Amino acid sequence: MFNTIRLIGTITRSIQVQSNKKFSPLGLGNNAFLYIIRAIENPGMFLGELADALSIDRSTAFRSIKKLAKNGYLDLKSDDHDGRLQRVFPTQLAKDIYPELFEFEKTQSKYLLAKLSEDEQAELLRLLKKTQH
């Protein structure tokens, strides 16, 4: 059973190495590209919602989001109803690189799942969802 978790970790690290190599020149190391993808797909999320969507602890996510804002990829705007809360929006720079980021994510998924039938892919997704806390 422990081998399953080790294999998931190996797959995750492999994708992270590839994404760091590809996107570090853009200032998007350590899977920062995922924040941009989620911000484009769900503009206006609260900082905490974005962290939760990526299953990353909030303090780490907040630092990454603020760095992405400083580098021109994300805009942080105070919520209209509660000024203590900040919403995350993609900038034009983020929108411009989104197709490349999305294509990378899609290509990685296709490669990893290529040997599984559609039914097996659905079953894998179902089983992995059961493991979430």
What is the model's pLDDT at position 133? 63
Split at pLDDT 50, 70, 90, the class of 12 is confident
Half-sphere exposure in the Cβ direction for 65 (13 Å, CA): 28
Q: What is the structure's pLDDT at 2?
A: 78
- Mean pLDDT score across all residues of the chain: 91
Residue 45 pLDDT class (50, 70, 90 cuts): very high
**What's the confidence (pLDDT) of residue 132?**
76
Q: What is the mean pLDDT of residues 114-125?
A: 94
70 or 129, greater pLDDT = 70
In order, the DSSP letters of 83-118 are TTSEEEEE-HHHHHHHHHHHHHHHHHHHHHHTTS-H
pLDDT of residue 35 exceeding 90, the answer is yes
Determine the average pLDDT of the residues in 89-110: 95
What are the distances in angstroms from CA 55 to CA 8, 38, 68, 83? 15, 12, 18, 25
- pTM for this one? 0.83
- Hey, what CATH class is 3-131 in? mainly alpha
Report the pLDDT averaged over residues 91-100.
96
Element (H, E) at 74: strand 74-78
